[in-house]
Structure 1
Amino acid sequence: MTQQDKRAVFLTVHDLGCNHTSFHDFVNHPCMCEIKDRSIFIYIDVTGQEDNAQKLSDDFQFPALQTLGEDLVTVLDFLHVRYVIGLGEGAGANILARFGLAHPARCLGLILINCTGSTASVMDHFKDKFMNWRLGSGVNTSAEHYLIFHKFGHQLENDPAGDKEKVIQEFQKKLRTTINSHNLKLFVNAFLNRKDLPLKNFKTDILLVTGANGSYAQAVEKLHLTLDKGKAALLKIDGVGDVMREAPEKLAQSILLYCKGQGLLTSVTMPGVERQRTFSRGSLDGDGHPTRKLSRGMSMEEYDRPNIRRLSITVSDLPPLPPSVPPPKGN
């Protein structure tokens, strides 16, 4: 695969209690249609978090978030992908940030939803003790409450989508029937034992995203204050806890603007704006950005249609890796 065609390649990592399906569902939302058709998405399942996963052995040493982040480069090497944009949520955002810090030449930038930059708070540790996980007996009620709070925020009664009960029930059902509770506990413990994230050392653009009703809104704002404002931007969406579910259109617009700033997806118009089929020299797209000149008779769809399918893989499924791919000469 080459990246000379300027298509965006996204590497996604999910949050606690989820797997790659959370990003897969978001990417398949109608507002993401234009971006999806001209991008490649590599979906990662953290070890043991895939649907109906087998229980990890009792002597298995679950990797720290730092290790998970550093090891993501093996996926790029295996797929012969030179560089990506990281797109993560919660614990997955923290993992991707560590990937970007460890392998800056392989990361064009980061889009991080509900990313925390500090170690777990005293309250986090209290919740961990309060959950009192029982191995082999499923996720107990206290654990569910913690994960629901982590995922949906602290103001569920103000859910603007009006379907909170249905959404929570679906999330609970997935926790009880699809996600292996033993493996999930290991992932939660890795998140609670995370180290500080020195994201201020990251040299490429960062977009931090959070909902005003989210449980980590203040933590995201605190992280933003520590970063170089010339490199980092903050998107805080009012009235929202779960950004991908409650405000997919705003998130899609922000992703597109971010990519345009990186020189990617320049022919894609904003979601909801009717796009032109062909362009002539000096024309503008729906956002007023100058477009690239197309060959005569070539439609925009033909010009920037991806030539390989999007991928959904699990790190544990990968065969032995080939020698590391040399990093690009520049971002």
Structure 2
Amino acid sequence: MSSEDKDLTLHVVKTDACGEIQVFVQGDLEMAKKQERCTFLTVHDIGSNHTAIVEFTKHVSMQGITSRSVFLHVSIPGQEPGAQDLNPEARFPTMQALGESLVCVLDKLEIKYTLGLGVGAGSNIIARFGMKHPSRVLGTILIHPTSTTAGMVEHVRDQIINWKLDSVGHNPTAEQYLVFHKFGYQVEKAKDKTKAMAEYKNRLHDQVNPRNLKMYVEAFMNRTDISQRLASELVCDVLIITGSKSSFLHSVETMYTHCNPAKCSILRIDDVGDVIEEAPENASQSILLFCQGLGYLTSLGLCGNRSRSGSINTENNLKVSMQEYDKPNVKRLSLSARGENSDN
């Protein structure tokens, strides 16, 4: 484990459909088991791994949330830093298999309920998890999500990129595609985004095995359409976050229109391609408001998400500690209204 992960604990979870999944726990797992912490289950995008979401959780605007929460960061097989080549003869898991297998993470770590948080391809996986195991998911936060199959233009780009990743490893064409996927059409022309893109390219070279990345990209490109099932099967509260310059903006809007309008809300951030890189303050504030609507993190204010000490008064004028006030009120959620979904 790298120095960046020194405050994380690694757990290896065995699954039938996806083999071993590495999970990096950030925060006090024992408190999460007792439901005394808001617990997030995260899945990263293509071209990255769990470290990208860890960086977001460490941003100053996320400090309040992170200090009172536990994060279970899933690294998709073969995408973790320093990963060896996956067996080319073994079948890489589908997006559906990855989504369904996330319940094994909760079972292994003894977590009863969670909040799902996914980015890009990871948000598609989180959505599938929420649809398959509704009794385990209190809410989902989907950043730049898609619910449809890959379009023709996306397939053409993918065929070129996969060939180059497989034959010559990381290269300028592959990098440009992944930068486009992450930041959107116009961001590369903006001078103030140069540093962020350079850092992303360096991280791509340093941390992601190109041949394993090819397999994750292929799984994402071969995803099935879940749009028509969203309204009836994704029954938890849903927050969609996207940027106006996101490369998948149209797909995100399509997904939003297929969700249950009573359960789903969307935040569009202007002049942004990748919201967690370019607008972490906006993203963290919307995540906090979403969590508070579910009865989590109710002691935190919106001004910088700063941690506060001391105590506050409830509506019944009963003084409670901040730790007690931050406990989730799971009884308010209709978790028993729906069993596990047996359909794929």
Counterpart check, 1:82 vs 2:112: yes
1:12–1:87 contact (8 Å) kept in structure 2: yes
> Taking structure 1 as reference, are residues 216 and 292 closer, same or farther at Cα in structure 2, changes over 3 Å only?
farther
Q: How does 1:291-330 map to 2 (within 5 A)?
A: 293-295=318-320, 298=321, 300=322, 303=324
In the alignment, residue 99 of structure 2 is paired with which amino acid?
G
What does the per-residue CA deviation read over 1:152-187, in whole Å, with 9 as the maximum and x for residues that have no partner?
11111564xx54222222222222232100000000
- The answer for the alignment partner of 2:282 in structure 1 is 250
Counterpart-to-counterpart distance in 2, 1:58 and 1:117: 28
Q: Distance in 2 between matches of 1:135 and 1:292?
A: 63
Change in CA separation of 1:174 and 1:225 when aligned onto 2, cut-off 3 Å = same
Tell me the distance in 1 between the aligned counterparts of 2:189 and 2:74.
32
Q: 1:175 aligns with which of 197, 204, 209?
A: 204
Greater length-normalized contact order (CA 8 Å, ≥ 6 residues apart):
1
Measured after TM superposition, the shift of residue 8 of structure 1 is 1.1
Q: 1:1-331 maps to which residues of 2 (within 5 A)?
A: 1=30, 7-131=37-161, 132-135=163-166, 137-157=168-188, 159=190, 162-197=191-226, 198-201=229-232, 202-272=234-304, 277-282=309-314, 293-295=318-320, 298=321, 300=322, 303=324
Shift of residue 329, structure 1, vs aligned partner: 5.2
Q: Distance in 2 between matches of 1:22 and 1:157?
A: 19
From the superposition, tell whether residues 109 and 76 of structure 1 become closer, same or farther in structure 2 (CA, over 3 Å).
same
Shift in Å, 1:218 = 1.4
Q: 1:248 is matched by which residue type in structure 2?
A: P
Structure 2: gaps (5+ residues): 1-29, 328-334, 339-344
Where structure 1 has 5 or more consecutive residues not aligned to the other structure, the ranges are: 283-289, 307-327
Q: In structure 2, do the counterparts of structure 1 residues 186 and 265 end up closer, same or farther at CA, with 3 Å as the change threshold? A: same
Aligned length: 297
Q: Return the alpha-carbon distance in structure 2 between the equivalents of residues 68 and 187 of structure 1.
A: 11
DSSP 3-state at the match of 2:319: coil
Q: Does the 8 A contact of 2:44 with 2:52 survive in 1?
A: yes
Deviation (angstroms), 1:264: 0.9
* Distance in 1 of aligned mates of 2:305 and 2:132: 38
Structure holding more helix per residue: 2
Q: Residues 273 and 72 from structure 1, CA distance in 2 versus in 1: closer, same or farther, beyond 3 angstroms?
A: closer
Q: 1:264 to 1:121 in 2, by over 3 A?
A: same
TM-score normalised over the length of structure 1: 0.83
CA 13–275 in structure 1, closer or farther in 2 if over 3 Å, else same: closer
SS in 2 for 1:239: coil
**Structure 1 residues 276 and 156 mapped into 2: Cα distance closer, same or farther (>3 Å)?**
closer
**Which amino acid in the other structure matches residue 75 of structure 2?**
D
Query: Residues of 1 paired with 2:307 and 2:68: CA distance?
Result: 14
1:128 to 1:280, Cα distance in 2 relative to 1, 3 A: closer
- Following superposition, the deviation at residue 141 of structure 1 comes to 2.3
Structure 2 CA distance for aligned equivalents of residues 274 and 136 of structure 1: 48
Shift of 1:142: 1.9
The CA deviation string for residues 46-77 of structure 1, in whole angstroms up to 9 with x for no partner, is 00000010001121210000000000111100
Rounded Cα–Cα distance in structure 2 between residues aligned with 1:260 and 1:204? 15
1:319 corresponds in structure 2 to none
- Do 1:5 and 1:304's aligned partners in 2 also have CA atoms closer than 8 Å? no
Secondary structure of the equivalent of 1:135?
A: helix
SS in 1 for 2:164: coil
Deviates more, 1:167-176 or 1:206-215: 167-176
Supply the distance in 2 between the matched residues of 1:266 and 1:158 (Cα, whole angstroms): 40
